[in-house]
Structure 1
Amino acid sequence: MRLRPSALATRPGLVALLLGLAAQLLFTLHIDQPGQIMFDEVHYVPAAKSLIELSSPRNTEHPLLGKELIGAGMDLLGDNPFGWRLMPTLAGTATVLGIFAFLWILMRGRMRVAVTGAVLAMLDQSLFVQARTAMLDVFLGAFLLWGMVFLLWAMHGTRGQVRWRWCAGAALLGLATAVKWAAAPYIAVFGLALIAVRLRDTRRARRPIAAAFFSGDQPHWQGLSTLAALVLLGAISIPVYFATFAPTFFYLTGATDGLRGLLHLQREMYAAQTQVLPHHNYQSEWWSWPLMLRPIWFFYEWDHGAQRGVLLIGNPVIMWGGLIAVLASYVLWFRTKAWRPLALALLWTFSVAIFAIIPKSLGFYYYYHLSALFLCMLLPVTFHQFDRLRAKGWEEWYLALALVCFGYFYPILSAAPLHDTQSYTYWMWLPSWR
């Protein structure tokens, strides 16, 4: 099962196109099932419709961009399951391609690693379900990943390329924040990562500490000083974020009173985000998400002449295997100083730990969406590092196992027809999954 070198190995554009077509087909097939609103679509589809009509504010807990995108799909295909879920499928495909691009750049053109990460993302069951549901997290992941791609791409660009790539990354991070505020902490983390790299480069070059912040003569992000990069990060992402609120100035109810009303809306969002909510049947604690102790039934009803179900659950091969990769990455750092797996392991750790800090009274498994994507990136990088040490060729077997697991769960991921109302028990490995 070893991958053989081929002409595709030197044609990332063609490989990305093939991966994108495969992902889009996978995510789009039978998106009209179920044919009715499921789980939190009950919030976001009506909110998207109100934006189309500019009737009044709906779902003021989150910024507008995700609902605007859902509305764009409804404008194209109508107020039906195809319209609700068209744009999430495109965001799911963009997520797969973002992982491919990020790993291609991070690993300096190693096709094996980039393709493995992209295929793992396609087999990431939580991404599959989110890409077929009119909710927000799939848009959050797509914009955040592509922001990371452009910031990383800028890292190794020429002086003429660095600035526009960095600005594009900042704009994409602003769009991610315009989907959900959960993206905001990552902007701060990427700024800290820039400072860390600059301090390391300065130490290695035995230059004054001031050069790390004020000099653009650097081996990474050439021609852009740290101070200028941080200013651009905020000066671009913040206006882009606010630009997505343009529809609020045209509500027929006059709900937004200019800039004052826009700022009031931000306060309303903060109040909604921090309010104490009543108990929910599918709520779960942040520490339980990596273990997949409480997945979520988005749907389990009779629909289109059959019993159907949609369970938001990660692929156990990827989710539980990814935890081993996190531990292995930390061990590799102490043994070999391998910084690439360490960086991704730290990113995953941060993505989970942030939910132990932010003031939300309820948590749900779908908050783990970004963390699951980071595991899809970490796994092939860790495999590559072990390939360099002693073990070779395990990636294909791991992908095959993940594919088998995906196929096993597929009926309750895709709302396929089931035999009867008790069919779900076939997939319930743990009592908490029911």
Structure 2
Amino acid sequence: MALAVEERRETVAAGAARDRFRWWGPVGVAVFAGVLRLWDLPYPNAFVFDETYYPKDAWSLLQQGYEAVWPDNANELILGVPQVIPLSQEGAFVAHPPLGKWAIAVGERFWGLHPFGWRIVVAVLGALSVLILARIGRRLFRSTLLGCVAALLLSVDGLQFVMSRVGLLDGVSAFFVLAAFGCLLVDRDRTRELLRAARAEGGRAGDELRLGGRPWRVAAGVLLGAACAVKWNGLQVLAVFTVLTLLWDRAGRRAAGAWRPWRSMLRRDLWPAALSMVGSALVVYVLSWSGWFASDGGYGRHWADGRAGLSPERTPLVDVPLPQVSMSWVPAPLRSLWHYHAQMYDFNTGLSSPHTYQSNPWSWLVQGRPVSMYWEQVPDGQRGCASADGCASQILALGTPFLWWTACFALAYVLYRWFFRRDWRSGAILAGVAGIYLPWFQYQHRTTFSFYMVLLVPFLCLAVTQMLGAMLGPAGCPPRRRRWGAAGAGLIVLAIVGCFAYFHPLYTAEVIPMSEWRDRMWFTSWI
């Protein structure tokens, strides 16, 4: 008996040690990513790309609950001598929902209208994304090592790094999408455990079992609603992830012995999924407009007052005039919000103004046209420049080239695994790609930018990690095979890390000689 107790204690101690490693490894990579992102965060002391919009909108939300019109010289006032900037009471039309700007406003609440204030929350979310991806990779591949590899790849991707250090919305949206994906993975595992336990008890568990409340799926819906409340591209991800969780339910019921898994899924899981995912997302989205509802000065806040319809001309989903139908039974604030959304839809789908750094989705995976978010030419003798040709200071939203080019091969491998081997892990990764990347191809006429793909980076890292895991080989393969696989996978990871280090000056606006800057312009389309 004493020997059995001692063995049990040793087993428990070994399990506790493994649990610590399951967290210490991911936390260590996340700390590394956080240090990278927070180091010298206030530099440059300037508005980087669309920071000229969102930090000011965030400050307006913090002060008035809605985005206001700013004076033409607002940028100079903000970056100059600190002073009180009078805000207009007039609401400004904005093209995106308010939640991402509320997130930026949290930093401004504590550090003011200053570059550190409007960047800190995005940087923290970027570092937390690394931690979440490590845990996702561990759950997906059943390996803490592979989870940490995926997180390391994310921490050294140039696009995710840049978008974590600027006060833009895309990094916030990427965090919510990735966290929702993680919640769905937890929900899948817990549902499978429930189905297996029910099957072990006998009966037709796969057909008859009601899965009850699923808090992790509700959490995923809440997070995807938050993503939609940052940018509307979260809507496509919500649709794809809802289908994904239903397909997982169907597969789980089949594994539990369901005679008709499709019918069982449709009868038992369809409506609960719609309510927990789409319903909770809708609630979160509407709540994100609370400041606008509570105000009197928000843009279009009182448009519906005295009107019975939704719009005098059209609805946001069709391009032809429709006869007016009285909608007076709908509260006026909701009709005003609907009309506001019609205008937002028109703007977002009709944006076609030429831009120097616009690009087509076909070029995004190979980083054909990265976006220059900040540029300054520094003369010789100033700010440490010691080059007769002068120096350059630039922030280039360029994904680490070796990582993205490796990901192109990894996506082909993942597609093979899903199509021919029915690997559910590959299907999960491809679902993220389908929800984030593919919808952009329908907007060939729209002005689009490659930095939209910051949402895709975690899924590219998972694809590369799955390919590296295949190179490493299964645990039972010959040692020689494992050594060669580990060497090959290690060289790929080192090459990606080295590539990130090489381009690091272009991610942080470091002042470098023009000759070094030209050396990093590998393609003319990057200039």
| TM-score for the superposition, normalised by structure 2 | 0.74
Deviations 1:205-236 (A, max 9, x none): 35134212223xxxxxxxxx332122221111
Tell me if structure 2 keeps the 8 A contact 1:116–1:395: no
- Conservation of the 8 A alpha-carbon contact between 2:187 and 2:214: yes
Give distance in 1, aligned partners of 2:292 and 2:431: 38
TM-score, length-normalised on structure 1? Answer: 0.89
Q: Which residue in 1 is equivalent to 2:27?
A: 17
User: Paired residue for 1:181, among 207, 225, 232?
Assistant: 232
In the alignment, what sits opposite 2:357? Answer: 282
Q: Shift in Å at residue 335 of structure 1?
A: 5.4
Aligned to 1:220: none
Matched, 1:408 2:469: no
Aligned 8 A contact 1:194 1:226 in 2: no
Cα–Cα, structure 1 residues 172 and 355, in superposed 2: closer, same or farther, change >3 Å?
same
Aligned to 2:139: 105
Aligned twin of 1:339: 424
Q: Structure 1, residues 159-218: CA drift from partner, whole Å, max 9, x if none? A: 699611111111011101111110111111112112323333455535134212223xxx
How far 1:350 moved relative to its partner?
Answer: 4.7
- Alignment partner, residue 244 of structure 1: 288
Q: 1:229 to 1:346 in 2, by over 3 A?
A: closer
Structure 2: which amino acid aligns with 1:300? W
CA contact (8 A) 1:198 1:213 kept: no
Residues 382 and 38 (structure 1), Cα distance of their counterparts in 2 relative to 1, 3 Å cut: same
Q: Kindly indicate whether residue 437 of structure 2 is the aligned counterpart of residue 352 of structure 1.
A: yes
Is the Cα contact below 8 Å between 2:188 and 2:248 reproduced in 1?
no
Map 1:207-226 → 2, pairs under 5 A: 207-208=259-260, 209-215=262-268, 225-226=269-270
Count of residues in correspondence between the two structures: 418
Aligned-residue identity in percent: 25
The partner residue of 1:91 within 105, 125, 139 is 125
User: Could you tell me how far 1:60 is from its partner in structure 2?
Assistant: 1.4
> Which letter does structure 2 place at the counterpart of 1:14?
W
Q: Which residue of 1 aligns with 2:185?
A: 152
- Does 1:262 find its partner at 2:337? yes
Given residue 207 of structure 1, which amino acid in structure 2 is its aligned partner? W
Tell me how far 1:104 sits from its aligned partner. Answer: 1.8
2:49 alignment partner, SS class: coil
* Partner-residue secondary structure (3-state), 2:512: coil
The aligned amino acid for 1:238 is: L
Aligned to 2:104: 70
* Partner Cα distance (1:388, 1:7) in 2: 25
- AA in 2 matched with 1:426: D
| Residues 164/271 of structure 1: CA separation in 2 closer, same or farther (3 Å cut) | same
8 Å contact kept, 2:30–2:131: yes
1:66–1:179 contact (8 Å) kept in structure 2: yes
Distance in 1 (alpha carbons) for counterparts of 2:96 and 2:243: 26
How far 1:254 moved relative to its partner? 5.1
Structure-to-structure mapping, 1:314-325, within 5 angstroms: 314-325=399-410
1:334 Cα offset (Å): 5.3
Where 1:41 maps in the other structure, the secondary structure is helix
3-state SS of paired residue (2:233): helix
Any idea what SS the aligned residue of 1:293 has? coil
Provide Cα deviations, 1:234-283, integer angstroms capped at 9, x if missing partner: 11110101111111124462542333322222222212111243211111
CA deviation digits over 1:121-175, x for unaligned, max 9?
A: 0011000000000101100110011011111101112669961111111101110
Structure 1 unaligned residues grouped into runs of 5+: 1-5, 216-224
Residue 343 of structure 1: CA displacement?
A: 3.3
Q: Which has the higher contact order (CA 8 A, sep 6+)?
A: 1
2: CA distance, partners of 1:370 / 1:38:
20
Residue type of the alignment partner of 2:394: G
- Opposite residue 466 of structure 2, the aligned amino acid is V
Matches within 5 A, 1:131-150: 131-150=164-183
Aligned amino acid, residue 169 of structure 2: L
1:378 is matched by which residue type in structure 2? Answer: A
* 2:369–2:526 contact (8 Å) kept in structure 1: yes
Using the TM superposition, name which of 233-242 and 54-63 deviates more: 54-63
Tell me, in whole angstroms, the C-alpha distance in 2 between the residues paired with 1:254 and 1:172. 25
Given that 2:226 and 2:284 are in contact with CA atoms closer than 8 Å, whether structure 1 keeps it comes out as yes
Unaligned runs of 5+ in 2: 1-15, 69-89, 195-210, 303-332, 385-391, 475-480
Query: Of 29, 43, 58, which aligns to 2:39?
Result: 29
Of residues 7-16 and 306-315 in structure 1, the stretch that sits farther from structure 2 once superposed is 7-16
1:80 correspondence with 2:80? no
* Bigger Cα Rg: 2
Evaluate the alpha carbon distance shift between residue 89 and residue 8 of structure 1 in structure 2; reply closer, same or farther with a 3 A threshold: farther
When structure 1 is superposed on structure 2, of 124-133 and 394-403 the one drifting more is 394-403
**C-alpha separation in 2, matches of 1:229 and 1:335:** 28
* 8 Å contact from structure 1 (residues 295, 365) kept in 2: yes
Deviation at 1:64, TM superposition (A): 0.5
What residue identity is the alignment partner of 2:265? A
Which residue number corresponds to residue 222 of structure 2? 171
What RMSD over aligned residues (CA atoms) do the two structures have, in Å? 2.4
Alignment partner of 2:150 out of 117, 120, 141: 117
* Structure 1 residue 419 corresponds to structure 2 residue 513: yes
Contact 2:505 2:512 in 1 (8 A): yes
The amino acid across from 1:432 in the alignment is S
Indicate how the Cα distance of structure 1 residues 236 and 135 shifts in structure 2: closer, same or farther if over 3 A, else same: same
Aligned amino acid, residue 247 of structure 1: G
What letter is aligned with 1:417? Answer: V
